[in-house]
């Protein structure tokens, strides 16, 4: 871990507060603050972003300010500061300071902070948002301040200045997500994942339909409405492959251009579909030769390119390594379902998991080093683990909180989305890759199954 | 808690106290039912729904105060308000429940408009369902006995063609269970053809964990769901 305490710690701020209270001379403040923000340079703060949320940054996010113009009746405040707060919480790297602890009155303060009021509550960063409604447009000003550094941080365009947007909550939210991505880039050197999309299945009674949803749990769109069973969606290459019973058996379909087209309808099973990173093959499970095996299909025609497995047991659930050279999958050829790995031509098949007798749903990290999977333990509870390719080290990410299943990595490999029943219904959750920060993102009644994070 | 106790007391002393039997239980529960049915209104007609909830709370309070006539009137009003709220919600449904699609990341090209529908129908004829052990596709002795009888029925009904459906309980992954259901259906087909049934009359389909017979998470429900069912086409 190259983690280092960034900038002035809350403790240092507290000491300063005791020393100076609120009567300090600006020069004295500079004297103290300068060495502190020399560490937290403008390029962001150095710390390990692979392991998740070891260091948490303190951030203050006051409610969005109406900078004049008509009152907000269209949810602008919620779409700005509400979205920003929710995203930052999900991101896991931040402690959001309770608004009740604010010394400054953000409404009176306006867009320029009185730094000392924010230093004294121990925050390192301050996110200000303001808007002015003009007819059917809104001017939105989003700002990140380094409180340690006592300056505004210039983020990449379009977040370097105020932007004019249509007066529409969805569009405002999209802008706010993009801003948060840049805030996360400033603090962790790698941008956030907001404005990506997940696909999943949502159960409603007996019907299972495909949905697309933003990682903050909003902007959910229903993609199919057959009233039947649609399942196992994957999103890549501008299309969604999925499995559906609409023609009788489990067949594969591809959804693009507003229509589901048959993709693979061989005799028996046609399930799952994982597009290779180079987009040249789709790995699927077929049973046309008498047993569930993994095949590669042409991504457009659905024609068989190659059969990869040949065992008496079940072989299913393929997941590509990011370099496209290997495939993880589930096989029960040794008697129980386990995670296996093979080369992309089917050679070198090797069992990867040995703990437990029920390991499923492998998802290869986009960073390449680990595979997340679902394991059932001796209490019949399902939890999410990762296994490192290099040494087979297994790490548990969830524990004692309902059933946790179907992990899917964020495109940057820093987070895992999954389903959890810990609140009583099956909801979408996102956790940091080390499992330290876990947040429910879906709202409402639940029924979410098999999320797949678009890459 | 208080209401429950009142009810119990009423139940025990119902014959003695003339006031108790007049508690408008049916009207109250009708109002409660109407509120439950108006679930959509909670979201799509929130003001109307809140009014119905308030009226229902008032009816309960009056009943607890043993003002039964007033309670009955309030409960009737609550029911009427709930029904009205739901009607309003249904009228607004399209606006209120429309999926909020991100305009900057248009998903419309992913929305399936093909209008395809779901599953086939059919009855099981004289074919009896067989059950499996957890995570297994081997036939138990009991299953073999059932299948022998099923084979006899198929011989007696030589024109019947049968779809064998493999099913699983809901534990384990969606995709693995599709594969497991397929294995179960295959084993059944093999067993029936060993009994002399022409395999041309037998087709298979796996539903994995998608079509449970029994809800719930207990072993009883799981055991009923691990099965091969039969759909007969004549």
Work out the minimum CA distance from A20 to partner chain B, whole angstroms.
48
Smallest CA-to-CA distance from A187 within A39, A57, A38, A82 is with: A57
Q: Does B107 touch chain A (CB under 8 A)?
A: yes
Name the phi and psi angles at A219, rounded to 5. 55, 45
Query: What was the pLDDT predicted at B95?
Result: 59
Closest CA to A9 of A127, A122, A114: A122
Q: Give the pair of three-digit tokens for residue A98.
A: 């309770």
Burial class (CB in 10 A: 0-12, 13-18, 19+), B179: buried
Nearest-CA distance A219 → chain B (Å): 5
Q: What is the pLDDT of residues A245-272, one digit of tens each?
A: 988 889 999 998 888 999 999 999 999 9
Residue with the larger pLDDT of the pair A242 and B86: A242
Q: Do A269 and B179 touch (CB under 8 A)?
A: yes
The answer to whether the CB of A219 falls within 8 A of the CB of A227 is: no
* Contact check, Cβ <8 Å, A168/B103: yes
Higher pLDDT, A214 or B91: A214
Band of pLDDT at residue B32, cut at 50, 70 and 90:
confident
Q: How far apart are CA A432 and CA B83, in angstroms?
A: 45
Q: Do A269 and B174 touch (CB under 8 A)?
A: no
Give the residue-averaged pLDDT of A185-208. 94
The yes-or-no verdict on residue A65 having pLDDT over 50 is yes
Band of pLDDT at residue B205, cut at 50, 70 and 90: very high
Please report the pLDDT score of residue A27 as a whole number: 37
Token pair, residue B119, equals: 């599953």
Determine the straight-line distance between the first and last CA of chain A, rounded to whole angstroms: 27
Phi, psi of A316 (to 5 degrees): -160, 180
Which residue from A195, A249, A360 is facing B205, i.e. has the nearest CB?
A: A249
Query: Which residue among B104, B107, B118 places its CB closest to the CB of A245?
Result: B118
Of B105, B117, B175, the CB nearest to A316: B175
- Compare CB distances from B174 to A219, A245, A449 and report the shortest one's residue: A449
Q: Are B203 and B163 in contact (CB under 8 A)?
A: yes
Contact A193, A215 (CB under 8 A): yes
What's the CATH superfamily of B130-233?
OmpA-like domain (3.30.1330.60)
The pLDDT value recorded for residue A39 is 34
Q: Which residue, chain included where needed, has tokens 């949905």?
A: A211
Q: Does B182 touch chain A (CB under 8 A)?
A: yes
Q: What are phi and psi of A87, to 5 degrees?
A: -60, -45
pLDDT above 90 (res B10): no
Per-residue confidence (pLDDT) for residue A298, from 0 to 100: 97
Residue A54 pLDDT grade (very low, low, confident, very high; cuts 50, 70, 90): low
Are A184 and A196 in contact by the 8 Å Cβ rule? The answer is no
Tell which residue, A226, A426, A429, has the closest CA to residue B170.
Answer: A426
The residue among A184, A283, A236, A160 whose CA lies nearest residue A411 is A236
- The pLDDT score that the predictor gives to residue B114 is 57
pLDDT for the residue numbered B38: 83
CA distance linking residue A154 with residue A156, whole number of Å:
7
Q: Mean pLDDT across the stretch A203-232?
A: 92
User: In this structure, what token pair is assigned to residue A288?
Assistant: 């046309």
The percent of residues in chain A predicted with pLDDT above 70, rounded, is: 88
Please give the pLDDT value at position B125: 87
Q: Return d(Cα B92, Cα B41) in angstroms, integer.
A: 9
Give residue A312's pLDDT: 93
Where does A203-334 have alpha helices with state H?
none
**In chain A, % of residues over pLDDT 90:** 81
Contact between B182 and A269 using a beta-carbon 8 Å cutoff: yes
pLDDT in the model for residue A16: 36
The pLDDT tens digits for A305-346 are 999 999 999 999 999 999 999 999 999 999 999 999 999 999
Distance from CA of A259 to the nearest CA of B (A): 5
pLDDT exceeds cutoff 70 at B202:
yes
pLDDT of B107 reads 66
Average per-residue pLDDT for chain A: 89
- Read off the pLDDT of residues B148-198 as tens digits, 9 standing for 90 and up: 999 999 999 999 999 999 999 999 999 999 999 999 999 999 999 999 999
Q: Name residue A65's beta-bridge partners.
A: A130
Question: What pLDDT, on the 0 to 100 scale, is given for residue B109?
Answer: 66
Token look-up 């003001």 returns: B47
A76-108 pLDDT, tens per residue? Answer: 999 999 999 999 999 999 999 999 999 999 999
Residue in B118, B173, B180 nearest the CB of A361: B173
Q: Quick check: B118 and A406 CB within 8 A? A: no
Residue B132 to residue B150: CA distance in whole angstroms: 16
What are the residues facing A262 on neighbouring strands?
A253
Confidence of residue B29 (pLDDT cuts 50, 70, 90): confident
ipTM value for the complex: 0.84
* pLDDT score, position B231: 93
Question: Does the domain spanning A198-453 belong to CATH 3.10.20.600?
Answer: no
Q: Whose structure tokens read 């229902």?
A: B56
A146-171: pLDDT as tens digits: 999 999 999 999 999 999 999 999 99
Does an H or E element contain B96, and which?
helix B68-97
pLDDT at A51: 45
Q: Distance from A124 to chain B by nearest Cα, in Å?
A: 32
- How far apart, in Å, are the Cα atoms of A40 and each of A5, A6, A115, B163? 9, 6, 16, 68
Most confident of the following: A195-204, B54-63, B100-109: A195-204
Does residue B102 surpass a pLDDT of 50?
no
Distance of CA B39 to the CA centre of its chain: 17
Give the model's confidence band at B106: pLDDT under 50 very low, under 70 low, under 90 confident, else very high.
low
Chain B: residue whose CA lies nearest to A260: B112
In the beta sheet, which residues pair with residue A137? A134, A166
Binning pLDDT at 50, 70 and 90, where does residue B86 land? confident
Q: What is the tens place of the pLDDT at every residue in A382-417?
A: 999 999 999 999 999 999 999 999 999 999 999 999
pLDDT at B118 (0 to 100): 39
CATH 3.40.50.20 fits A10-188, yes or no: no
Which has the closest alpha carbon to B178: A271, A98, A331, A377? A271
Looking at residue B97, what is its pLDDT?
52
Enumerate the domain spans of chain A: 10-188, 198-453
Question: Which band of pLDDT confidence, cut at 50, 70 and 90, is reported for residue B88?
Answer: confident
Asked if the model's pLDDT at residue B17 lies above 60, the reply is no
CB-CB neighbors (< 8 A) of B172 in chain A: 337, 358, 360, 376
- Which residues of chain B does A226 touch, with a Cβ-Cβ cutoff of 8 Å? 112, 116-118
Smallest Cβ–Cβ distance between A221 and the set B101, B104, B204 belongs to B101
User: Which among A115, A104, A7, A110 is positioned nearest to A55, based on CA atoms?
Assistant: A7
- On whether the CB atoms of residues A230 and A209 are closer than 8 A, the answer is yes
Residue with the bigger pLDDT between A35 and A187: it is A187
Tell the burial category of A7 from Cβ atoms under 10 Å away from its Cβ (0-12, 13-18, 19+): buried
Q: Which residue out of A83, A225, A234, A287 would a mutagenesis test of the B interface target, given it has the greatest number of B Cβ atoms within 10 Å? A: A287
Q: Which of B176, B211, B213 to mutate against chain A (most A CBs within 10 Å)?
A: B176
**Which CA distances in Å does B23 have to A187, A314, B56?**
64, 62, 14
């Amino acid at each position: 871990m190259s983690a280092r305490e960034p900038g002035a710690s809350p403790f240092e701020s507290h000491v300063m507060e005791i020393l100076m209270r609120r009567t300090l001379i600006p020069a004295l403040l500079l004297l103290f603050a300068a060495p502190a923000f020399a560490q937290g340079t403008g390029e962001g703060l150095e710390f390990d972003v692979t392991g998740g949320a070891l260091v948490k940054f303190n951030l203050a996010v006051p409610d969005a300010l109406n900078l004049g113009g008509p009152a907000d009746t269209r949810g602008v405040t919620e779409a700005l500061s509400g979205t920003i707060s929710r995203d930052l919480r999900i991101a896991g790297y931040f402690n959001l300071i309770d608004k009740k602890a604010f010394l400054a009155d953000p409404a009176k303060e306006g867009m320029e902070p009185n730094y000392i009021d924010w230093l004294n509550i121990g925050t390192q960063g301050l996110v200000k948002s303001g808007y002015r409604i003009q007819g059917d447009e809104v001017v939105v000003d989003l700002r990140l301040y380094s409180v340690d550094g006592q300056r505004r941080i210039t983020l990449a365009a379009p977040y370097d200045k105020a932007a004019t947007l249509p007066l529409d909550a969805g569009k405002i939210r999209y802008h706010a997500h993009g801003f948060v991505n840049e805030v996360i880039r400033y603090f962790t050197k790698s941008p956030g994942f907001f404005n990506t999309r997940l696909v999943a299945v949502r159960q409603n009674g007996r019907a299972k339909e495909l949905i697309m949803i933003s990682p903050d749990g909003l902007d959910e769109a229903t993609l199919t409405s057959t009233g039947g069973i649609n399942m196992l969606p994957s999103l890549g290459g501008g299309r969604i492959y999925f499995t559906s019973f609409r023609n009788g058996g489990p067949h594969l379909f591809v959804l693009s251009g507003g229509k589901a087209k048959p993709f693979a309808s061989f005799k028996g099973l046609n399930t799952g579909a994982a597009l290779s990173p180079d987009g040249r093959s789709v790995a699927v499970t077929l049973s046309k030769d008498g047993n569930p095996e993994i095949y590669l299909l042409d991504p457009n025609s659905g024609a068989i390119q190659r059969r990869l497995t040949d065992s008496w047991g079940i072989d299913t659930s393929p997941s590509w390594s990011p370099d496209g050279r290997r495939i993880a999958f589930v096989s029960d050829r040794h008697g129980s379902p386990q995670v296996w790995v093979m080369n992309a031509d089917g050679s070198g098949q090797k069992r990867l998991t040995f703990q437990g007798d029920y390991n499923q749903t492998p998802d290869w990290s986009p960073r390449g080093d680990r595979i997340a999977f679902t394991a059932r333990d001796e209490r019949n509870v399902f939890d999410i683990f990762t296994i490192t390719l290099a040494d087979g080290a297994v790490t548990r990410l969830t524990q004692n909180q309902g059933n946790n299943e179907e992990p899917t990595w964020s495109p940057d490999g820093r987070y895992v989305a999954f389903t959890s029943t810990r609140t009583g219904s099956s909801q979408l959750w996102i956790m940091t890759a080390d499992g330290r920060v876990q947040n429910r993102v879906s709202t409402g009644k639940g029924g979410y199954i098999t999320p797949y994070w678009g890459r | 808690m208080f209401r429950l106790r009142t009810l119990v007391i009423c139940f025990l002393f119902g014959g003695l106290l003339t006031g108790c039997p007049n508690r408008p239980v049916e009207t109250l529960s009708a109002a409660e039912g109407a509120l439950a049915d108006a679930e959509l209104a909670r979201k799509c007609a929130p003001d109307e729904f809140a009014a119905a909830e308030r009226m229902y709370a008032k009816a309960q309070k009056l009943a607890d105060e043993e003002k039964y006539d007033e309670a009955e009137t309030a409960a009737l009003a609550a029911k009427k308000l709930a029904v009205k709220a739901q009607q309003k919600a249904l009228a607004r449904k399209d606006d209120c429940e429309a999926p909020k699609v991100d305009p900057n990341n248009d998903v419309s090209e992913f929305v399936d408009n093909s209008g395809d529908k779901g599953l086939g129908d059919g009855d099981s004829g004289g074919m009896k369902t067989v059950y499996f052990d957890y995570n297994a596709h081997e036939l138990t002795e009991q299953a073999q006995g059932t299948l022998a009888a099923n084979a006899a029925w198929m011989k007696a009904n030589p024109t019947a063609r049968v779809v064998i459906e493999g099913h699983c309980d809901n534990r384990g992954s969606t995709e693995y269970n599709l594969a497991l259901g397929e294995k179960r259906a295959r084993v059944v087909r093999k067993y029936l053809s060993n009994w002399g049934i022409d395999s041309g009359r037998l087709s298979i389909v796996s539903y994995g964990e998608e079509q449970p017979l029994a809800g719930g998470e207990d072993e009883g429900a799981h055991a009923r769901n691990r099965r091969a069912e039969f759909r007969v086409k004549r």
